[in-house]
Amino acid sequence: MSNSAAGLLVALVGNPNTGKSTLFNALTGLRQRVGNYPGVTVARKSGICDLGDGRKVELLDLPGLYSLAAASPDEQVVIDALSGNIVGARRPDAVVLVVDATNLLRNLFLASQVAELGLPVVIALNQADVAKEQGLRIDTGLLSRRLGGVPVVLTSAWQGEGILDVRRGIARALTEPAPMKRVSWPTDIAGALAEVAAAAAADTGRPITEAEAQRLLFDTNPSTAERLGWALARREKTLRVARDRVRHSGYNPMAAEPLVHYAHLRLILEGVVAEGLGKAGRSAAVDRLLLHRFLGPVLFLGIMLGFFGSVFWLAKFPMEWIQAGVDWTKSIVAPPLDAYPMLQSLLADGIIGGVGAFLVFLPQILILFLFIGILEDSGYMARAAFIMDRLFSWCGLNGKSFVPLLSGFACAIPSLLSTRTIEDPKARLATAFVVPFMSCSARFPVYALMCAAFIGPVYGPGWQSVVMIGMHCVGLLFAVPTAFVLTRLVLKVKPQPFVLELPRYQMPKSRDVLWRMWQNAAEFVSRAGTVIFAITIIVWALSYFPRDPAVAERIQAAHPTAAPEVVTAKIQAAYVEQSYMGRFGKAVQPVFDPLGFDWKITVGVLASFPAREVIVSTLGVTYSVGEGAEADSQHLRKAMQDAKWSEGPRAGTPIFSLAAVLALMVFFALCSQCGPTVATLAQETGGWRWAAGSFVYMTALAWLAGTAVYQVVSRLS
Amino acid sequence: MTPLSQLLPGQFGKLASLNPERGVDQRLMALGLLPGMILKLIRKAPLGDPLAIEFGGQVVSLRLAEAENLIVDVSADCPIQRPRQP
Ligand SMILES: Nc1nc2c(ncn2[C@@H]2O[C@H](COP(=O)(O)OP(=O)(O)O)[C@@H](O)[C@H]2O)c(=O)[nH]1
Ligand SMILES: [Mg+2]
């Protein structure tokens, strides 16, 4: 981990939603990097901040939290980062505490805990614009003196106000560090803390800081003790004795910390905030409407359907342009290479096809992140979670699972990234695990092709719509029990309480929203882009090689009078049949036989691992209608309608019977044929274990459900 | 003395006791909900759960089951407010 020239590291710490990230952006500009903390799925954002006096420091944007009690992975990361316990990362040299100026008392609780770490601090009272509007006047000089002379500055991060003061404050905190005033613990608590520190130091053989002793004494969560390597058997008795001592002095040991800190802060804040005349917030009135018992859910459905419906609608046009652009590029690049068929195919089908395969999803992803940004910044996201929590809590998820799951209908990858907003690690993991069950837009072409070719013509457009809608629900049907079993039986993590702040409503700032959209999209491109690309090239190679020229000659000789396109298509089909992919498909076809898949469908299933919709073009090749087949292609539809089993017990009957068509769609509704999703899942769950589990589980489920559908329907019809 | 979960929307109460051993209560204490604090049940979610409560100038949502262990005093020294009819 590199540091800036001066080697100084400054961390931003604060409650969620105080404006840390906005302040971070204002202080660092475009010079930022996003990574991950080792072993956990918490994003590590850092950037370079110019202090204005010639010095540059590395600035770290830490996750938002309310307390240093290590309950969630986010909180643990902050504690570890502030204590210098993260492998490869240094302890910060100073901390900027970002505080919501409209709620000093609550925000300063965390600040007061951080003061116990003994780091130089700067206090940024952010959202000063809102405080002013509410008529709050804050005596920053008095607050600074009461806190022991630490710099206290008023900022309005999104207007860029006070940013210079923050830079100066950091510079001052670094050159003449003034420790922030700490709480004075009542004698017995101080004694208990000293006992714990001494015992832990003796047992672990390392010095224990006061802040660590506090975590050991006050937290029910054993993560600090475990990190220090203080064995349960040894610490149990010490902690019991120390906690009894606290209890006998009149404090519940689990409540002592907030009680002492809040009492301390009430004194400090005495006379700091003057309440003048100001506009009361309108949030309560807006909530009366948006959280109304009947209107609330109606408006909620309207907003969600409006937003996510328009993801499809708005993205449609750029997607078509990108598709056209990709086809155009192929048509330009391919002809000059006619003499080098291998290179031509690698470039056109492998590289350009691979880039195109993931570029087409970019519009959807951008729009999705735009909407998620608007929902979050306006304050409605928390309300959505409030409204939906009841529907999710019984299966171990919570209201915050709703938006990731809904986004999953567009694309699983951004929706996996958006599960980061769920604090509860158990609910986060379970949500991420079921997100791929949502019927993403890559499944749509598969359903569309099957329905247009086999359902519509035979059963009419009514049934076609029913099947389309039904297919979008299949995943949901399995997602809910999956989440239930996963959270109840598999994950042994303790559930987190669902305590959610409902922030005030606010008009989203377009600049912030667009910036976040851009950052998320860039992350998607760098992450999914490389994976899709690599998998596409591999699948291309498997379907291209080996390429024996004798095959082409034989087909040419057999069809001397046929039109050239027909011959080319037949040659292509023959090549795929004897390619590694074709051979593999034939070899594993028996596995898919219970679902009624012939070897061509099997090859399509296997080749569509980079992305589900690839099966449409693969079927185009294997059914000899040429490449570039699309879901609405007449030729492909006809070829598939005419396809018959050539051997075996089903010889002579159509391959695409109703049973096989339904089985194929159900298989695609449930299978895990999306490389980037698997890769993102691995990244977001912190290892390949869950990603592999998801792949195996979904594939098995898809196979079983497909088999059940085929066997039942083929007997009925 | 009433569990918070039984307050009516619009009703005020003074927190009498909570259970500091539980994660939810620890979270709420970090937010400043300590014994003696006046709080108000603003509303229940449309499906009846969770609840939205207000204290110390902030609105926080918590689940009905989690509100059962929070005991509030709804007697005289709280601001008088007629509860809305459910
Ligand atoms: N009114 C106002 N809103 C702000 C200010 N700074 C940030 N915000 C908004 O507060 C919300 C939370 O900001 P963010 O930076 O994401 O907070 P974080 O969770 O602490 O990183 C966003 O909607 C911001 O646009 C400010 O100075 N004034
Ligand atoms: Mg942030």
Mean pLDDT, chain A, whole residue set: 86
The pLDDT of residue A39: 54
Q: Is A99 exposed, middle or buried (0-12, 13-18, 19+ CB in 10 A)?
A: buried
A314: helix, coil or strand? helix
Rounded-to-integer distance, Cα A605 and Cα A597, Å:
10
- Closest-lying ligand to the alpha carbon of A512? 1
CB-ligand 1 contact for A161 (6 Å cutoff): no
Ligand 1 site-directed mutation target among A22, A97, A106, most atoms within 8 Å of CB: A22
Distance B31 CA to ligand 2 centre (A): 19
Block means of pLDDT (10 residues each) for chain B, length 86 residues?
92 92 91 94 94 94 92 72 41
Pick from B24, B30, B52: CB nearest A67 = B30
> Among A10-19, A60-69, B70-79, whose mean pLDDT is lowest?
B70-79
> A436, A87 in Cβ contact below 8 A?
no
pTM of the predicted structure, to 2 decimals? 0.85
Helices (H), A545-687: 549-558, 564-578, 580-592, 599-607, 614-622, 634-642, 658-670, 675-685
> What are the distances in angstroms from CA A603 to CA A464, A660, B10?
26, 15, 63
What residues of chain A lie within 8 A of the CB of B24, using their CB?
A: 497, 499
Chain A residue with minimum CA distance to B28? A499
CB-ligand 1 contact for A64 (6 Å cutoff): yes
CB-ligand 1 contact for A156 (6 Å cutoff): yes
Contact B26 A71 (CB under 8 A): yes
pLDDT of residue A371 exceeding 70: yes
A56: helix, coil or strand? strand
What average pLDDT does the segment A707-711 reach?
95
How many CB contacts within 8 angstroms connect chain A with chain B?
118
Per-residue pLDDT band at A21 (split at 50, 70, 90): confident
What average pLDDT does the segment A677-686 reach?
84
Chain B residue with minimum CA distance to A283? B59
DSSP state of A178: -
A492: helix, coil or strand? coil
The pLDDT of residue A53: 86
Strands (E), A235-379: 273-275
Per-residue pLDDT band at A1 (split at 50, 70, 90): very low
CB-ligand 1 contact for A624 (6 Å cutoff): no
> What are the distances in angstroms from CA A489 to CA A402, A428, A430, A494, A711?
22, 16, 12, 12, 31
pLDDT of residue A34 exceeding 50: yes
Q: Where is pLDDT greater, at A161 or A77? A: A161
Residue B30 identity (one-letter amino acid): A
> A395, A405 in Cβ contact below 8 A?
no
Pick from B21, B30, B52: CB nearest A258 = B30
Task: Give the closest residue (by CA) to ligand 1 atom 14.
Answer: A19
The secondary structure element, H or E, covering residue A58 is: strand A56-61
What average pLDDT does the segment A56-79 reach?
84
Per-residue pLDDT band at A343 (split at 50, 70, 90): confident
* Residue linked to tokens 């009703």: B11
Q: How many CB atoms within 10 Å of residue A252?
A: 17
Per-residue pLDDT band at A254 (split at 50, 70, 90): very high
The pLDDT of residue A32: 65
pLDDT of residue A72 exceeding 80: no
pLDDT single digits (tens) A538-569: 888 888 888 877 877 887 777 777 777 777 77
> What are the distances in angstroms from CA A404 to CA A55, A241, A375, A407?
41, 46, 12, 5
The most confident of the ranges A75-79, A260-264, A307-311, A596-600 is A260-264
What residues of chain A lie within 8 A of the CB of B27, using their CB?
A: 66-67, 71, 497, 499
> A644, A653 in Cβ contact below 8 A?
yes
pLDDT of residue A195 exceeding 90: yes
The pLDDT of residue A684: 81
pLDDT of residue A2 exceeding 50: no
Mutate to test the interface with A, among B8, B31, B60, B81 (most CBs of A within 10 A): B31
Does A393 lie at the interface with B, CB-CB under 8 angstroms? yes
- The yes/no answer on whether domain B2-81 falls in CATH 3.30.450.40 is no
The pLDDT of residue A407: 83
* ipTM for the predicted complex: 0.91
The pLDDT of residue A582: 85
The pLDDT of residue A27: 93
What residues of chain B lie within 8 A of the CB of A258, using their CB?
A: 29-30, 32, 34
Contact A389 B49 (CB under 8 A): yes
Does A380 lie at the interface with B, CB-CB under 8 angstroms? no
> Among A392-401, A608-617, B37-46, whose mean pLDDT is lowest?
A608-617
Q: What is the dihedral of CA A151, A156, A159, A164, to 10 degrees?
A: 0
The pLDDT of residue A552: 77
pLDDT of residue A33 exceeding 80: no
